[in-house]
Amino acid sequence: MERFLLVDDDDVFTQVLARALHRRGLECVCAHNSAEALQLAQQESFSKAIIDLKMEGPSGLTLIPTLKQQQPDIDIVMLTGYSSVATAVEAVKLGAINYLCKPANTDDILAAFENIEGDIKAEIPEQRPSVDRLEWEHIQKVLAEYDGNISATARALGMHRRTLQRKLNKRPVKE
């Protein structure tokens, strides 16, 4: 039987997704941060993990390599409401097999574990991303380079720390 590790700091989302997985006959254990997830991974074995990107404490990106080291055969899908090209690339580089944007339903999440080969027929958008979207993605890339350190990222971008914090608290810019 497949065992899922679900790591997300949103209690309601975690409960809803765990219930949906249980209804499909899948076993699911929940953690609300990276430390809890690593503790569970030391005690139990999992075949799949669904990890939220932005949580209290270290981001989900920091969890991927440690989890893969503890359980090399685990398949990981990164799930986030704060998607960007930079974080998607980093998640896959670190060992995630797929990356999904919230809101995603249970069927989408389970399909992400199956669809690891890629799709050469994927639609290419007609419209280029806006300047605001490109700025947001660049900020995410630089933030990842500085391991989530807001002050160092602000210095690297040449902006005030509070300005960067305001930009990070906003939802991702629509494409």
Sheet holding 48-52, edge to edge: 27-31, 3-7, 48-52, 75-80, 98-101
| Average pLDDT estimate for 6-12 | 90
In CATH, the number for domain 3-114 is: 3.40.50.2300
- The reported pTM is 0.70
Find out if CATH 1.25.40.10 is the number for domain 131-169: no
pLDDT digits (tens, 9 = 90+) for 26-50: 999 999 999 999 999 999 999 999 9
How do the domains of the chain map onto residue ranges? 3-114, 131-169
pLDDT tens per residue across span 121-166: 666 566 677 777 778 778 888 887 888 889 999 999 999 999 988 8
Report helix angle 131-145 to 85-94, nearest 10. 30
